[in-house]
Structure 1
Amino acid sequence: MFLDFLKPLLVEVDCTNIATLDLISSLSKHGGVLQPNGLVDVGAVKAQVARATARFISGLNTYAINTGKHHPSDLTGSISEKRQVSSGTIIDVNGDGLWSGSVTIGSQRFVLQIDTGSASLFVPSSTCGSTCNGHTKYNPTSSSTSVSLGTNFTINYLDGSNVSGTLFNDTVTISGLSATSQTFGAASQYSTSLQAAKFPVDGILGLAFQSISALKARPFFQTLMSQGKVSSGVFAIKLASSGGSLTLGGINSAAYTGDIVYTLVTTAAYWQVKFDSLVVAGTTVAGSTPAVLDTGTNCIIGADSPVRAFWAKIPEATEATDLVGSGYWTFPCTTTLPTVTLAIAGKAFTISPDTLNYGPVGNDGRCLGTLVTDLALGSKLDFWILGEPFLRNTYTIFDVTNLRVGFAKLRRDKFNSCIYVVICQP
């Protein structure tokens, strides 16, 4: 007879062609912006926000170059203007807000950032010099399935440095699921911003759509789909300080509770959807709004007016213009934040207070909020960026086949620290 106390932990899952990868946060809380003294590194926060908006602007440039079409959310200019100024794809890949997992390429194991805000896969090559020291380097001679495509690539960075190297095909494996002849970049040069001290993972595995791929290559998950390696064209992500996971080819029923609600992707580039409303203390501060879901951003970046309306509802919150800069707010660390919900597809999801707080920003008892604004939103980008503070509150399902995203409430109960018993259906 099965032990009665385990019955609440039973979950039936069809395990055929499904793989789950443990995700860990490669840095401390909120992407490594807390210093050893426990105070927020203001410079790191500002850099993260600037990089996030800049890489999305540049990603839309890549979309225009790759597709020959203007992205509906791109407010920066015409396609012809983009072609004139483009000298390669500009993205930012810095060590802020990293969620990573173990990935095998050929016969070598790498730790890669799992990023829903980009679509390329690259790692350092064995020919990379001192800037790649501390990282695992891809050695094509150690893999019997490695094929050089003889094509060079260059990715230009915001600071003027770049990543460059050669495109290869090889077998890429996550938790037993293998994509054969997967195209990726093997970098012979890494930007100084990717040195191990600043970037504690080896490279990036992007999970967005091919239209924004800097390498113009099919992303890893879409390769799995095209080769029939997964049961369905769905992957799902849970971000958590313990038990974070990426599930490929299905969902983990043990990770959420209640119903899943779905909303359509508006354009197959980023994982972009529309949320219905943002409500704080019973007041709606934002209505129907386009937004991108990004595991690579450690804050929520919104348009100026609604973000200001949000912080106006928080007792004693003030804009930290002198301390941090315009678009950032602090509040007393002793403040109990009111209920905050973000509604998608008619369902309201509560954003927990701890995810809205970077931490103390000085010795005066004030904390820095993770909801910020950037002038690029509204002038260059017509969407919000929903990063870690929102995604840590939902189980998020990315449905490539049906071009939609599903959301469910994370399972949080008295068994939260237990290991769930998963029964595979025959």
Structure 2
Amino acid sequence: MVKLIPSIILLVSSTCAIAAAAPHTLTLHRQAKGSYKDMAASEGNRWAKKATSGVHTPAINDFFKYNIEVSIGHPPQASYPIFDTGSPYLWVSDQVYDVPKSASARSLNSSITLAYGAGNVTIDLYNDTISLGKDLIIKQELGVASNLTALQIQTEGVIGFAPEAMALAYTNQFSYIPTPMHNLIASHKIGKYLFAVDFRPLRNTTVNVANGQIDIGELDRSKYTGDVIYSPISKKSPFKYFWSTDVPKIKFGGKTMVSDLSAVLDTGSPLILATWKILQEIFSDIEGLGTDGRVMTVPKSQVHKLKDVTFELAGGSITYKTEQYLVPSFLEPDFGPTNGTQYTFFGVFGEFGLPLILGEPLMEHYYTIFDGVNKRVGFATRK
């Protein structure tokens, strides 16, 4: 889920001298809840849920969002905020975190309003102890929301993993709020500003099964093969404030269709989001291209003409195969009647000056790396 940026900010990368020998690994599972189409219609908020059991921390993907289990306060209260690389803050609903019940909670006597593509949320700021696992316990600034109806999504909150730069976006309004990754590094819980996601696409409607992991602090080299395709964070505005990459070319098959773009990597998006103009240019060889609200559709008669979509980056190229971006038949009932069309995981998006967002459906086919030390993102072929 991409958060709006109201002011000019600087990109900051935090590192620590301590080197972690192994990543803190979060195991992902699926759990069906909600509607994919509804999620996409509200800008797409697909998240990641992780629970607390040491270095092997289970996470639940409730079909269209991944949430992380975060224990807050003393005694601990469990919450499941959305894992989001498109925003920097931690905040939860007052329905899951009762401040007066925590002996370690401290009010910061301040409140702020955050803007998301799905709506705005106002949070009251506190400081308390949070736990992401027995080895990841820190003091953390966090927000508490009392009314989430404006977001139009089913969520207990958000835990942001965006670059620290985005946390500076509101410094003209209030003091800097450290991100969870900042505090993990400052507390020497991890040695590097580095994490990677190993999402797995649904193969059928079976849920509650292990299907991916998140690694924090180090990479798990057993999860990928070959070289990593690294690409520096874009220097263009506003992309330089996000996990992003320049995309010099987008190809349909082997033919260049679009040139000179930049893209945000957002685990909070359930689609590959682009402006309608860009989608029309990429798929200009397809007759009858259309949309159903947010989702791009293709006439069934044209499906045989579809080709792989390749994003060329600074360090190489990544390919989104045709069979990967077509919505599988078992998910079609969730999208709605087909009416002779084929749904895709491409969505129409034109807000916030971000013409291209590479969401989770693409990352599900790569081991995707977010490297704050070297200010770059990476893609590797999953084993």
The TM-score range, normalised by the shorter chain, is 0.7 to 0.9
What secondary structure sits across from 2:215 in the alignment?
strand
Whole-Å Cα distance in 2 between the matches of residues 159 and 328 of structure 1? 19
* 1:153 alignment partner AA: I
Question: Compared with structure 1, are the counterparts of its residues 313 and 325 closer, same or farther at alpha carbon in structure 2 (3 Å cutoff)?
Answer: same
Alignment pair present for 1:226 and 2:180: no
Gaps of 5+ in 1: 1-13, 34-40, 53-94, 126-131, 412-426
Residue 260 of structure 2 is matched in structure 1 by 288
CA contact (8 A) 1:327 1:373 kept: yes
Relative distance call for 1:381 and 1:138 in structure 2 (3 A) is: same
Deviations 1:218-252 (A, max 9, x none): 11012111222112221111221442222110112
The answer to whether structure 1 residue 116 and structure 2 residue 121 are counterparts is no
2:26 to 12, 21, 28: 21
Distance 1:402 1:159, change over 3 A: closer
Task: Name the counterpart of 2:35.
Answer: 32
**Aligned 1:38-187 pairs, distance under 5 A:** 41=37, 45-48=40-43, 97-106=64-73, 107-125=76-94, 132=95, 137-155=96-114, 163-187=121-145
CA drift of 1:349 comes to: 2.0
**Residue 392 of structure 1: how far off its partner (Å):** 1.4
Look up the match of 1:307.
279
Alignment-derived partner of residue 408 in structure 1: 380
Q: Which moved more, 1:255-264 or 1:363-372?
A: 363-372
CA 1:319–1:229: 2 relative to 1, 3 Å: same
Q: How far apart in 1 are the matches of 2:42 and 2:272?
A: 14
> Secondary structure of the residue that 1:225 maps to in structure 2?
helix
CA distance in 2, matches of 1:168, 1:341: 44
Q: Which moved more, 1:263-272 or 1:243-252?
A: 263-272
**Per-residue Cα deviation, 1:338-390 (whole angstroms, up to 9, x for no partner):** 233223234222213344124545354421222244444xxx51541111222
Secondary structure at the counterpart of residue 282 of structure 2: helix
- Identify the residue that residue 318 of structure 1 maps to in structure 2: 288
Q: TM-score, normalised by structure 2?
A: 0.73
SS in 2 for 1:335: helix
Correspondence for 1:332: 300
Change (3 A) 1:345 1:393: farther
Distance 1:397 1:167, change over 3 A: same
The secondary structure found in structure 2 opposite 1:48 is coil
1:1-16 matches, within 5 Å, as 16=21
Deviation at 1:183, TM superposition (A): 0.4
Residue in 2 aligned with 1:371? 346
**Residue pairs, 1:162-311, within 5 angstroms:** 163-187=121-145, 189-193=146-150, 198-199=153-154, 201-213=155-167, 216-240=176-200, 241=202, 242-267=210-235, 268-311=240-283
CA contact 2:320–2:362 (8 Å) conserved in 1: yes
Query: 1:416 maps to which residue?
Result: none
Aligned with 2:43: secondary structure? helix
Sequence identity, in percent?
A: 26
Q: In 2 relative to 1, CA 333–410 (structure 1 residues): closer, same or farther, beyond 3 Å?
A: farther
SS in 2 for 1:221: helix
Aligned-pair distance for 1:46?
3.9
1:118 Cα deviation from its structure 2 partner = 0.7
SS in 2 for 1:369: strand
Give the structure with the higher percent helix.
1
1:341 aligns with 2:317: no
SS in 2 for 1:307: helix
The answer as to whether partners of 1:17 and 1:230 remain within 8 angstroms in 2 is: no
Matched positions, count: 323
| 2:121–2:151 Cα contact (<8 Å) kept | no
Give the AA of the match of 1:218.
Answer: P
Shift of 1:15: 6.5
**Matched-pair contact (CA < 8 Å) for 1:22–1:101:** no
- What TM-score, normalized to structure 1? 0.66
Q: Could you tell me which runs of 5 or more consecutive residues in structure 2 were left unpaired when the two chains were aligned.
A: 1-18, 47-61, 203-209
Amino acid at match of 1:101: I
Structure-2 separation of matches of 1:292 and 1:157: 15
Distance 1:375 1:104, change over 3 A: closer
SS of 1:370's equivalent? strand
Residue identity opposite 1:202 in structure 2: E
Query: Conserved in 1, the CA contact under 8 Å of 2:43 and 2:118?
Result: no
Equivalents in 2 of 1:17, 1:144: separation in Å?
33
Highest Rg: 1 or 2? Answer: 1
Q: Distance in 2 between matches of 1:180 and 1:327?
A: 40
Asked if structure 1 preserves the Cα contact closer than 8 Å seen for 2:91 and 2:123, the reply is no
Query: How far apart are the structure 2 equivalents of 1:384 and 1:190?
Result: 30
Q: Work out whether residues 194 and 217 of structure 2, in 8 Å CA contact, stay in contact via their aligned partners in 1.
A: yes
Post-superposition offset of 1:284: 1.4
In 2: Cα distance, 1:165 partner to 1:307 partner: 36
The AA in structure 2 aligned to 1:287 is S
